[in-house]
Structure 1
Amino acid sequence: MTSSAQIFAAFAGLGLLTLVPAVAVAQDGPPPAIIRSATIVERDMARTITTPASVVARNDARIAAEASGRITFIAEAGDRIEAGGLIAQMDDRQARIALDESRARLARATANGDYQSAEAARFESLARNGTVPPTRLREVELARDLALQDVREARSAVSRAELELERTRILAPFAGRVVERLIQAGELSAPGRDIARIVDIDHKEAVAQAPVAIAPYLSLGQEVVLSMGEGGSTTAPIRAIIPVGDAVSRTFEVRIDLAGSDWIVGSAARAAFPAETPRTQLAAPYDAVILRSNGAFIFTVDADNIAHQIAVTAGVRDNGFIAIAGDVAAGQRVVVSGAETLSDGRMVQELGEDA
C-alpha cells in the first residue's frame, strides 16, 4: 500500500504541475488583436446628391471636304494628328495646273503694268513741256490704270488658285485621334462630304444634369467626386455651369474638367454634388464604421492600446470619409482594419507599415 500511495502521489503531483500553465494562460487572457488605425478628423462636409454623367471630349468633329477630287491618302483610324496635321490628301494635279496658269497671267499683267506706268510717267513729263496734247496724256494714263487693274485681278486669281490647292489638303483643326474614316482612298469626294471623325482625347470633361435646386451650392472650380463603377473615382473641378434649366426635368448642365485623365470618352460615370452648405463635422475613414442591425459603432484605441466600442450616428460621405456623431473627439485613434473580431476592452497591437 505504501508503494501504491507513493505512486499515486507522484502522478497527482505531475497532474498539478500540468494544470499550472493552463491557469496562467487563462489569467493572462487572449493575445492582442492586430489592427490598423487612423485618426478622427474635422472636415467641412455636406450632404450630396448623385447624378449620372457622361465622359465627352471638348473637341469632337467630323471633318468635311471643301473641294472636289479623288482621295489619294487618308489617315488610319487610331492615328494621332497634331493641330494642322494632314488627315487626307486629294489629287491636286488640276489645282496645281490652275495655279501655274494664274501665276503666268499675273506675270504678264505685271509686265504690262510696269510698261504702261513708265509710259504714263514719260508722257506726263512731255505734257509739262507742252510737247504732247492733254488728250494724249489722258489716253496713256487710262491705259496705265487699266493695266494696274489687270495686275490686281491677276493677283487675286493667284490667291484663289492657291486656296483651291490648299483645299486639296484636309488638315486637323485641333490635335486629336482619328476615330473613324468616313471615306476610303480612291473614292471621289465633293464639297461638304465628311472625310473623318477626329476626337481630342487630351481635353475631356464629364457632362452631368444636376437638379436646379442645388444650383446655389455649386460654383466654378469647385471640386466634386466622379465615380465609374469598378473603374474607381476621382476628384475634379467644375469647368462650366450652364445656367439654363430644362423646364420638364428641372435640371441644368454641369461640365466637370477631366483634362489629362485616362477615362475613355463615352464612359458612363456618376457625379456627387453638394446639396447643402458644407459645415465642419467629425469624420473617420469609411472602414472605421461598422454597421449592424442594431446600429453603427466604431472602436477607438486609448493610450494603453485598449479598444473601446462606441456607438455613433453615421452621416454624409465625402472623398473616403464619413461623418460621425457620438462620444468621440477629433484626434482619437480609430480602428480601420481588424475591427470585425474586436470586443470592448480588448488589447490591440498596431500592424506595422512593412507588414
Structure 2
Amino acid sequence: MSITLLASINIQAMQMPPADVEVYELEMRKMAPTIALKGEVVSLQDAVLSAEVDGQLEDILLVGEVVKKGQVIAQLKRDRMDWQVQRAAAELASLRADLVFRRSEVERFRVLASQDNASKTQLERERANAEILEQQIVLAQTNLSEAKRLLADTAIKAPFDGVLAARHAHVGEFIRVGDPLVRLVDTQHKDIVLPTPIQYQHHITQGTSLEVAYRDETLTLPVRYVVPIGDRNSRMIEVRINANSTALLVGDAVTVAVPKAPSSDEPAVPRDALVIRGAQTFVYRVNEAQQAEQVSVNVKFADGDWVVVEGDIKAGDRIIVRGAERLQPNAQVNVKAP
C-alpha cells in the first residue's frame, strides 16, 4: 500500500509543471560562530556644566535646545562683577598716573644730583618708589584680568556642540560655585559600549567590523578600540564600537554579534534555503536534470543572514533559496534569474 502511494506521488510530481525557483550557487565564505551581547549607545562627550562664580541665575536655555560650541547656555547677573572690573580698572589707571609722576621725579633728581644739588640717596629713594609702583601696576593688571575673567564666567558657554539633556537650576535661583546647571550631550559623536567576556578578546581588534542589531535594522560597524583590562568580578572587558555615522540614539540598547572563534572558510547558505520539517533540516539542490534533490544538512552556526551547514553539498552546487517550501524530492523546477 505504501509503495503504491509513493509511486502515485512521484507520478503526480512528474506530471506537474516545473515550479519556479531561485537558486544560490554555493561558495565558501569567511565566517565565525558568534555570541549575541547587549551593548549601550553612549556619547563621547556628556558633561554636567557648573557655575564658576556665585550669582543669581538670570537666564537659562530649555531642555532639548540644540547649541553650538561657545554659545551661551546660562547667564548669571553681571552687576557685581561689572563693579569689580571698574574698580580694578580705576586702581590701575591711578597707579599708572602716579608712575608717570614718579618717573618725572626720578629724572628731576638725577639732573639735580649731577649738579650736586641733591643727594644720591634722594635719587635712589625716588627710583625705588618708581619700581614699587611698577610692581603694583603688574599686580593691578592681574587683578583687572581676574575681574574680567570672573565677569566672563557669569556666562556659562557650551564647550562643544550638543543638546541640553537636563536642567538643574531655574531663573531667579542663587547659584554657588560648582552648582550643576545643565547636562550637555554630544549626539553626533557616539560609541556603543559593549561589555565582552575576556576569552573573546583575541577575536576582536581595532577596526574589526561587527553586526549590530537595532530594532528592525542590522548595521555593520567598526570597533573603535578594545580596552585590554578586565574587570576582576565580571571577567569582562570593554569594547567600543564607532556609531558616529548612524541614527542610533544615546542611551539606547543594541545587540552585537561577537565572534567566538577565528573566522574560516565555511560552506554557507542563506537562511531562506533551509527547509525544516519536524526534526529534519534539509536543502534542495538543483541537479543537471533540473530536478530538486533533497539533501539533509546539519546547522553548525549562523552569522547574520547566513547559515553554515554540514552535509553532502559542495562549492558550486545550486541551492534553492526561493520556492522550496512546497517542493517534493526530485520535482522538476524552472530556475529563474534572481
TM-score (norm 1): 0.84
Which of 73, 93, 111 is the equivalent residue of 2:97? 111
Which structure 2 residues correspond to residues 94-109 of structure 1 after superposition, within 5 A? 94-109=80-95
Q: What one-letter code is carried by the residue in structure 2 that aligns with 1:237?
A: P
* Partner SS, residue 21 of structure 2: strand
Which structure 2 residues correspond to residues 257-296 of structure 1 after superposition, within 5 A? 257-296=242-281
Task: Determine which structure has more spread, i.e. the larger CA radius of gyration.
Answer: 1
- Which segment is superposed worse, 111-120 or 171-180? 111-120
Which of 33, 38, 61 is the equivalent residue of 1:47? 33
User: 1:344: which partner in 2?
Assistant: 329
Which of 194, 200, 203 is the equivalent residue of 2:189? 203
Q: CA deviation at 1:122?
A: 5.0
Q: Per residue, is there more helix in 1 or in 2?
A: 1
Deviation per residue, 1:58-90 (Å, 9 max, x gap): 211211111112222111111111122211111
Q: Would the aligned equivalents of 1:183 and 1:194 in 2 still touch at CA under 8 Å?
A: yes
Q: CA deviation at 1:176?
A: 0.9
Q: CA deviation at 1:27?
A: 10
Which structure 2 residues correspond to residues 149-298 of structure 1 after superposition, within 5 A? 149-228=135-214, 230-298=215-283
Q: CA deviation at 1:152?
A: 0.6
Q: What one-letter code is carried by the residue in structure 1 that aligns with 2:267?
A: L
**What is the number of equivalent residue pairs in this alignment?**
328
CA distance in 1, matches of 2:69, 2:228: 32
1:330 aligns with 2:319: no
CA distance in 2, matches of 1:340, 1:127: 117
Q: What one-letter code is carried by the residue in structure 1 that aligns with 2:242?
A: D
Q: CA deviation at 1:32?
A: 2.9
Q: Would the aligned equivalents of 2:13 and 2:331 in 1 still touch at CA under 8 Å?
A: no
CA distance in 1, matches of 2:316, 2:112: 104
CA distance in 2, matches of 1:304, 1:191: 84
CA distance in 2, matches of 1:169, 1:303: 79
User: 2:68: which partner in 1?
Assistant: 82
Q: Would the aligned equivalents of 1:45 and 1:316 in 2 still touch at CA under 8 Å?
A: no
Q: CA deviation at 1:325?
A: 2.6
User: 1:18: which partner in 2?
Assistant: none
User: 1:321: which partner in 2?
Assistant: 306
CA distance in 2, matches of 1:125, 1:288: 108
User: 1:56: which partner in 2?
Assistant: 42
* Partner SS, residue 235 of structure 1: strand
User: 1:11: which partner in 2?
Assistant: none
Judged with a 3 Å threshold, the aligned counterparts in structure 2 of structure 1 residues 150 and 291 are, in CA distance, closer, same or farther, namely same
Q: Would the aligned equivalents of 2:67 and 2:162 in 1 still touch at CA under 8 Å?
A: yes
Q: CA deviation at 1:348?
A: 3.2
Q: CA deviation at 1:237?
A: 1.5
Show structure 2 runs of 5+ residues with no match.
1-11
CA distance in 2, matches of 1:193, 1:323: 57
Judged with a 3 Å threshold, the aligned counterparts in structure 2 of structure 1 residues 281 and 108 are, in CA distance, closer, same or farther, namely same
1:135 aligns with 2:100: no
Q: Would the aligned equivalents of 1:49 and 1:273 in 2 still touch at CA under 8 Å?
A: yes
Percent of residue pairs identical: 29
CA distance in 1, matches of 2:106, 2:320: 101
Q: Would the aligned equivalents of 2:14 and 2:331 in 1 still touch at CA under 8 Å?
A: no
* Partner SS, residue 63 of structure 2: coil
The alignment's C-alpha RMSD in Å is 2.4
Q: CA deviation at 1:279?
A: 1.0
Q: CA deviation at 1:31?
A: 2.6
Q: What one-letter code is carried by the residue in structure 2 that aligns with 1:101?
A: R
Q: CA deviation at 1:246?
A: 2.0
Deviation per residue, 1:88-117 (Å, 9 max, x gap): 111112212221221222222222223323
Q: CA deviation at 1:289?
A: 1.9
Deviation per residue, 1:239-283 (Å, 9 max, x gap): 222222222222122121111311122212222211111111121
Judged with a 3 Å threshold, the aligned counterparts in structure 2 of structure 1 residues 138 and 342 are, in CA distance, closer, same or farther, namely same
Q: Would the aligned equivalents of 1:40 and 1:330 in 2 still touch at CA under 8 Å?
A: yes
User: 1:72: which partner in 2?
Assistant: 58
Q: What one-letter code is carried by the residue in structure 1 that aligns with 2:87?
A: E
Show structure 1 runs of 5+ residues with no match.
1-25
Q: CA deviation at 1:120?
A: 3.0
User: 1:23: which partner in 2?
Assistant: none
Q: What one-letter code is carried by the residue in structure 2 that aligns with 1:282?
A: P
